Amino acid sequence: MTLKSLTRAWEPMSYGFLDGSAKREIRRKMLKAIAVPGCQIPYASREVPMARGWGTGGLQISCTLIHPAMRIKVIDQGADDSVNAASIRNFLARVSGAPVTMDTLQADLIQSRHRIPEERLRADQILVLQVPNPEPLRSVQPNMSIARQMHADADYGRMWLQLYEQIVRSGRVMQGASYPSLVNGRFVMTPSPIPRWDVPKLNMAQHLTILSAGREKRLYAVPPFTRVAPLVFDDVPYRVEDHGHLTCQRSGAAGYFMNEIPQADGTSTFEVSDSELGVKTIRKAEGAPAHIGRTWYENGRLVQ
């Protein structure tokens, strides 16, 4: 037996940036997360060439899942062309050789910060959401050991109390993003800071969603066809943002989640948040070939 026979051959670079053992560990944790929907699974978050808090959790999941035949789409607050989205997309393409796309329908792997695309995702697509703070109980229980016990006991009274307090003080639920949601009737998760508009898209969705927080070293998942129910009182219905009647001033798309652009005269104009949907709408209006898939919302109303 020689020393050479006991060691592996030197490789100049791991495929997809992460080394084999890191990927193996993250895959195991992903499988565990899929087996127990909504349950936060700790993992050994690795260093990646990006600062913590800029999507390192999502990037590690993408690096683990990626292969050259996959098409990657990266979005940041709905936009494909933001600096952060472009940097992550370029990085993933560089370390994997996988082709990139901005079209939701063509993508196999979609890494997103704070939005779910407006076009419906299919069963063969995977959505990776970047999560800054994975613990929904943090605002009501700063002690994480106790918070974990509360998850184990399904002790979510304080979460409901938070909603009660918001209604008492403001007359309505004020939680805008990261709306606490019950997954598969068991674990309350924060669906990352997606707007309330996007939360219903996770319910009984065909696609797999993996949520990962690199800084907090936690990942969790919503497997296909899993119930995701935002916490609501029986007599206070869940409300999404009132964007159904708004029209995008650039593309003319209407009935989708919009970005508000304040104007100098105090008014606001609106642009569709899903930038690729806006581009497709413009192309279609100009007669260029563009296929807009079936969307979650039609005319501002959620379609089941």
Partner 1 sequence: MTLTLDTPQLVKTQPLLVARNVSKSYGAVHALRDVSAVVYPGEVLGIVGESGSGKSTFLRCLNLEETPDSGSYTLDLPDVQGNLFDLDRYARRMLCATRIGIVYQNPHLGLLMHHSSSGNVAERLLVAGERRFAVLRDKASAALDASEFPLDRMDAPPVELSGGMQQRVQLAKAIALEPALLLLDEPTTGLDVSVQALVLDTLKRLQQDRRITMVIVSHDLGVIRTLSDRVMVMRRGQVVETGLADQVFQDPQHAYTQQLVHAKL
What are the residues binding partner 1 (CB under 8 A)?
Answer: 149, 153, 155, 157-158, 160-161, 164-165, 167-169, 233-236
Nearer to partner 1, 169 or 245 (CB): 169
Minimum CB distance to partner 1, residue 140 (Å):
9
Distance CA 71, CA 174 (A): 37
Minimum CB distance to partner 1, residue 103 (Å):
41
Distance CA 103, CA 284 (A): 14
201 forms bridges with which residues in the sheet?
Answer: none
Give Cα separations from 102 to 15, 80, 86 (angstroms). Answer: 23, 6, 10
Nearer to partner 1, 90 or 149 (CB): 149
Minimum CB distance to partner 1, residue 138 (Å):
16
Task: Say which residues have a Cβ less than 8 Å from residue 263's Cβ, sequence separation at least 6.
Answer: 269
Nearer to partner 1, 13 or 168 (CB): 168
The length of the chain, given as a count of residues: 304
Minimum CB distance to partner 1, residue 231 (Å):
9
Task: Say which residues have a Cβ less than 8 Å from residue 112's Cβ, sequence separation at least 6.
Answer: 58, 74, 75, 76, 127, 128, 129, 130
Nearer to partner 1, 94 or 172 (CB): 172
Strands of the chain, DSSP E: 41-42, 72-76, 109-113, 126-130, 181-183, 187-189, 208-213, 218-222, 228-230, 258-262, 268-272, 297-298, 301-302
Minimum CB distance to partner 1, residue 147 (Å):
15
| Whether 212 contacts 130, CB under 8 Å | yes
Nearer to partner 1, 35 or 161 (CB): 161
Nearer to partner 1, 159 or 279 (CB): 159
Minimum CB distance to partner 1, residue 34 (Å):
25
Q: What are the structure tokens assigned to 242, written together?
A: 């009132």
Minimum CB distance to partner 1, residue 153 (Å):
5
Helices assigned H by DSSP within the chain: 3-6, 20-35, 56-65, 83-96, 144-152, 157-170, 275-285
Distance CA 287, CA 281 (A): 10
Task: Say which residues have a Cβ less than 8 Å from residue 19's Cβ, sequence separation at least 6.
Answer: none
Nearer to partner 1, 35 or 167 (CB): 167
